């Protein structure tokens, strides 16, 4: 057993122990039996078994990502165990996480070569549009946004979460194939840049249509994620800052127009800028989050010793504030450090890729996870308006957990298929200067 594999096993065992200990402390503080907290080991045990099954393929993969994600999930379970008594949500969340981890394994094993997804880019793009269109027509409206789809045979789910994955595959495949053509920028009158729209047309059509569907569904948080994903993949695939500037301009224009088109967006802006103007209405969430952080201080009140359950929608929108109250600044910084480590690991997978599609797919999926965490954390601490998106792997919700684990499975598949093994790396040997008539080429030598 190599050192990386051994470290992965040790870290997963440590995650299981930390999760069980945290849940046991909550149980003691609330007067429950600490033995009930042993169910917290289930997720770490499932992930440990899944990593062994992944190793049956005998191929190399990233060893750092799964323990980091497991620790983020562990913190989420501890807080859900504390927030909801008799811990119904935490028990359901464990089931969702184990199911998501199983789908992560299925994604890793069934996709024998992740580069083959590039051939399905148009199917994925149309599929993303189809999911959002079906939600717009048949979806259910909750909390002012039409996000949920109930098919009757399965629990209600959010198709937009799956659309993010499909859109990442489409963008990575298209930009990988036509990146050189997309990166060509001409010069028009007064030296202004002119993009080759005939090559950008498929990307613009699908991205704009998806953003329009999100806007009509009044899910502006997801629209920000889609826009950020498109900007990241286009910039990394072409190296053109023009796309970043265009995306930023579109974001600013949308932010200025949205409050006038949608009443609930205007209310969120008011709650962000003037929470004290409606302390029992739209400003309640922002104020309760501020009070929670103030109560938590540096080290927090202690697990089970605060009152985070008084915050509205605390298990979904404000779970970061609950962590701030009971674990303090130290706990929130620890969680942010874990997300930073996950982002670094995902980008490292992209950096080491020898395949263009794999690189863009890994970078796009990592951007989605990082941007989603950034938006919800920024909303809770009042850097940006609070949106209805979830904190990945932490907030309560089955669809978000499952799709997040599928994205991790794709990242692991990229690390397996697109990394170049060290023993086959090619080195360039420079030969002496050629004599007259000798072209003297520089030849790669294995």
The torsion angles phi and psi of 219, rounded to 5 degrees, stand at -110, 75
pLDDT score recorded for residue 212: 76
Contacts of 165 (CB under 8 A, 6+ apart): 365, 403, 406, 407, 410
**Dihedral through CA 369, CA 132, CA 96, CA 380, nearest 10?**
50
pLDDT score recorded for residue 445: 42
pLDDT score recorded for residue 444: 44
Contacts of 349 (CB under 8 A, 6+ apart): 62, 65, 362, 366, 411, 414, 415, 419
pLDDT score recorded for residue 90: 85
pLDDT score recorded for residue 198: 65
The torsion angles phi and psi of 193, rounded to 5 degrees, stand at -70, 145
Residue with tokens 């299925």: 106
Contacts of 419 (CB under 8 A, 6+ apart): 60, 349, 352, 353, 354
Q: How much is the pTM?
A: 0.87
pLDDT score recorded for residue 133: 85
Averaged pLDDT, groups of 10, the chain, 446 residues long:
86 92 88 79 90 85 94 93 77 91 95 92 90 81 70 77 92 85 59 61 77 72 85 86 82 79 75 80 86 91 88 88 94 96 95 92 95 92 84 90 95 88 43 46 42
In tens, the pLDDT along 199-248 reads 677 777 877 777 777 777 667 778 888 888 988 998 888 888 877 888 88
Nearest to 93 by CA among 304, 394, 372, 320: 394
């Amino acid at each position: 057993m190599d050192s990386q594999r051994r470290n992965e096993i040790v870290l997963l065992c440590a995650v299981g122990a930390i999760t069980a200990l945290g849940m046991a402390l909550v149980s003691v503080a609330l007067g429950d039996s600490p033995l009930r907290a042993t169910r917290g080991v289930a997720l770490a045990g499932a992930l440990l078994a899944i990593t062994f099954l992944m190793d049956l393929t005998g191929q190399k993969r990233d060893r750092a990502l799964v323990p980091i994600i497991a620790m983020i999930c562990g913190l989420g379970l501890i807080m859900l165990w504390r927030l909801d008594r008799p811990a119904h949500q935490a028990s359901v969340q464990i089931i969702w996480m184990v199911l998501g981890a199983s789908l992560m394994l299925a994604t890793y094993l069934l996709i024998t070569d992740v580069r083959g997804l590039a051939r399905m880019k148009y199917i994925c793009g149309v599929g993303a549009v189809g999911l959002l269109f079906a939600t717009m027509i048949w979806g259910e409206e909750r909390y002012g946004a039409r996000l949920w789809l109930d098919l009757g045979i399965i629990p209600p789910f959010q198709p937009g979460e799956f659309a993010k994955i499909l859109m990442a595959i489409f963008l990575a495949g298209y930009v990988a194939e036509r990146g050189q053509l997309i990166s060509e920028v001409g010069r028009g009158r007064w030296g202004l840049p002119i993009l080759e729209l005939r090559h950008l047309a498929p990307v613009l059509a699908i991205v704009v249509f998806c953003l329009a569907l999100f806007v009509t569904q009044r899910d502006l948080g997801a629209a920000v994620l889609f826009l950020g994903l498109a900007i990241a993949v286009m910039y990394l695939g072409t190296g053109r800052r023009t796309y970043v500037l265009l995306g930023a301009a579109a974001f600013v224009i949308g932010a200025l127009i949205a409050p006038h088109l949608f009443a609930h967006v205007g209310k969120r802006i008011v709650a962000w800028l003037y929470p004290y103007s409606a302390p029992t209405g739209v400003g309640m969430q922002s104020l309760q989050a501020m009070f929670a952080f103030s109560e938590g201080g540096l080290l927090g009140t202690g697990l089970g010793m605060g009152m985070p359950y008084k915050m509205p929608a605390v298990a979904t929108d404000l779970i970061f504030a609950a962590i701030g109250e009971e674990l303090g600044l130290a706990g929130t910084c620890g969680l942010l450090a874990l997300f930073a480590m996950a982002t670094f690991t995902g980008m490292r997978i992209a950096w080491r890729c020898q395949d263009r599609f794999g690189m863009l797919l890994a970078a796009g999926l990592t951007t989605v996870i990082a941007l989603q965490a950034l938006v919800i954390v920024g909303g809770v601490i009042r850097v940006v308006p609070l949106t209805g998106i979830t904190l990945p792997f932490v907030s309560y919700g089955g669809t978000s957990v499952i799709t997040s684990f599928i994205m991790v499975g794709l990242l692991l598949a990229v690390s397996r298929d697109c990394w170049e093994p060290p023993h086959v790396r090619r080195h360039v040997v420079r030969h002496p200067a050629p004599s007259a008539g000798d072209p003297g080429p520089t030849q790669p030598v294995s």
